[in-house]
A = this chain, B = another copy of it.
Amino acid sequence: MTTRVITLKELAASLDLSITTVSRALAGHEQIALKTRERVAQAARQAGYVPNTAARTLVSGRSGFVGLVLPIRGPNLVDSFLGEFVTGLGEGLVSHGADLILATAALGHSELSVLRHVVESGRADGVVVTRIAETDERLAYLRERGFPFVAHGRLLDSDFDYNWLDTDGAHAFGEAFDMLYELGHRHFGLVTISEAMTFRHLRQDGLAAAIARRGDPSVRLDVVTAPRFDQQARIEAVNRMLRGPDRPTAIVALFDELALTVMEEAARAGFSMPRELSVIGFDNIAASAYAPPGLTTFDASIRQCAREIADMLLTVIAEKPGKPLTRLIRPTLVARASHGPAPQTRS
């Protein structure tokens, strides 16, 4: 056992050529005779030669890796986001011969320190940054370093340019409002979170903008806020909205997990959906299709987005474009059975 790995020197010796020539031949340089190139390629294939990554990286300065620092997560991760995201990244990268490095933040260490380590150890040629917070120190660091990156999500104040791809939550929430308004709804509820994430503002602002655009003074919007990871507090917040004296006829949740809580609590309170209450979410997680009566939501096609992020990042790495690359992806409505016409009888 323990077969040795063949090296360029050995391959060269077996061909009676210099290391230089073999290296160039494998790289397909024109200056090497075609005949030689073929001979080398043949021998390399047969010997199962694979160039050593470390050596190549050391001399070329390119590792062929893209880094992703895993967002620190609570004990329960129910959705498929991360799986879809890394799958999409992988698919996008592999077509260019790149691979993915996943770095995890240890308990004591901040996400930023892990990012620094990834960048400065030369492990990666670029990084992907997810879950952008309102003031994100990671982006500030990467900009200062001049290190290639693409953000999945945006900052609010774009006074500094960077590459990003984001789902157009503002548009989706506007679309949700318009659809519900056409269905006769006038009293709306928004269930949101208190975390300092930009997507929260973008979606809420999109909803508010759509309301303003409609210009109907009879439209009302109630907002409740819950902490991100406290399920008990979420339930209480939802019930504050549901059990009040004058509850909305349509509730929009910042994301599906919240919407599912709304549906559970609404069912517990005996409201029939969508007859008495419409609910709309965002993300289209798997459970949304199964939770009765089937949650109407928006699909952001994470996997496809991740693939595009990979493409963008590889472009940034290879070409260092002057203008930043940006993409705004419009999510698609997944109409299920949790929304419908506003109830006729209004007290």
Interface residues of A in 141-165 (CB under 8 A from B): 143-146
Q: Which of the segments A8-16, A24-32, A74-82, A197-205 contacts the partner chain?
A: A74-82
Pick from B3, B70, B73: contact of A144, CB under 8 Å? B3
Give the residues in chain B near A99, CB-CB below 8 Å.
Answer: 101-104, 123
Judged by a CB distance under 8 angstroms, whether A94 is at the interface is yes
Q: Which residues of B contact A123 (CB under 8 A)?
A: 53, 99
Do A122 and B5 contact each other (CB < 8 Å), given the known contacts A80-B79, A82-B87, A83-B83? yes
**B290–A260 CB distance below 8 A:** yes
Q: Which of B58, B65, B73, B285 contacts A87 (CB 8 A)?
A: B73
Contacts of A176 in B (CB 8 A): none
Q: How many monomers of this protein are in the complex?
A: 2
Q: Give a binary string over A94-108; 1 marks a CB under 8 Å from any B CB, 0 the rest.
A: 110001111111100
Q: Is residue A286 within 8 Å, beta carbon to beta carbon, of the partner chain?
A: yes
Query: Contact between A54 and B87 (Cβ–Cβ < 8 Å)?
Result: no
Known A53-B123, A77-B80, A120-B50; judge A95-B106 contact (CB<8 A). Answer: yes
Q: Is the CB of B70 within 8 A of A63?
A: no
CB of A216, distance to nearest CB on chain B (Å): 35
- Residues of B within 8 Å of A63, CB to CB, are 53-54
| A102 / chain B contacts, CB cutoff of 8 Å | 86, 90, 99-102
Interface residues of A, Cβ cutoff 8 Å to B: 1-3, 5, 48, 50-55, 57-58, 63, 65, 70, 73, 77-84, 86-87, 90-91, 93-95, 99-106, 116-117, 120-123, 143-146, 260, 285-287, 289-292, 303
